Structure 1
């Protein structure tokens, strides 16, 4: 018998296994009966036994300390001082003066008091460019700047609470920009049609601004960029861990483990 458990988060202090996104806490125990047979018992939060497995049964637990598994993610990337990823310039991430686009990512950031954390930025530090960052009040900003006109779309503040969250910003170039946190609109819809050509020919950076400043101390995962304003169904699909691939221009899932390369999984 093979049993697979997905979406488990362990509390090391109590050996409690919590299924992310579900109202269930499981305790993993081992008992020995009179015939010295080993058992694994998985109990729910009310201590009612769900099932018992005897010695020789194969039970695969997918366990970790972060609740990423509700999204089907195996791991995230942790950024600290001077950590970042650079992505060579590619035309698929240039959105000109009229192309709509959407950026989505999962993040965990603790309060940092002052300054700015750059999360995803296609910029060398000067306009034209587009940038995704977090301010010291815990609000997310999406800034579009053509060198003359600049508009910033801002989410609600207080997102620097050291909890995993999903963020999506949709950018309708002849309409509004809007943030969604956990697939719920956050902050005001902001008109962005005054911004023209934002193409810059520069690299895209994850975790810094131009590998020079605004380094983020953060955990990031599942960064997606689409060349469209994704639909409410697509936002829900991303929230559930299944990003839609239509017009998907970049997708970094950070499931490579340790190393120096992050793979773009878009097709």
Structure 2
């Protein structure tokens, strides 16, 4: 399972915890995401602010994330990539590890970001913010990018794939499937499922497992899929943002 999968899981279940989901359920889901080595603050300053063990100290268990979940506000998923660092603080110590990981969960009320890396959860200072698209906007971007990519690939007759390619896509989809908390909005779940399916296709295409054979055709594949990759990344953020918003408010609604 990828760091993006781990961060998505943490964001959703942290929101569910803020909404009153049981500690046992939340920790079981977070641990299942694969980062079980422990939790540690990246700097002494963050350690002082959060009470987490700092550099040079033994890591804490995943239970140490609970205070962040309960007092950190609605979690925000960031998916930084080269050329798109929106939401990360300029020149912050989180930038390089966030780029290496490709995913950060920000707890805005505490101004910290949790990065899944090397089997650990590393907590950094992260006062930035980058709003996600709405579900409608994200779906529209994905659909438009899909249509354009399909036209480009079909024109060169390189959209075909073998049975092995389809099996590779299926395996990736299963590996990256996210265990969403009960109460996750149906529309957000549907968008997340679409994103996971498309990411599996994109990962296979990135390995040039298509009918493209010439360097020109391979370049066409890369160019055609680049906007779709961007749209899919925005779609994951939109799905998580809407789900987190609803999940975090569940206990509030239940008291009315």
Q: Which has the larger radius of gyration?
A: 1
Highest RCO, 1 vs 2 (Cα 8 Å, sep ≥ 6): 2
Between Structure 1 and Structure 2, the one with more strand by share is 1
What band does the TM-score fall into relative to the shorter chain? under 0.3
Q: Which structure features the higher share of helix residues?
A: 2
Q: TM-score, normalised by structure 1?
A: 0.23
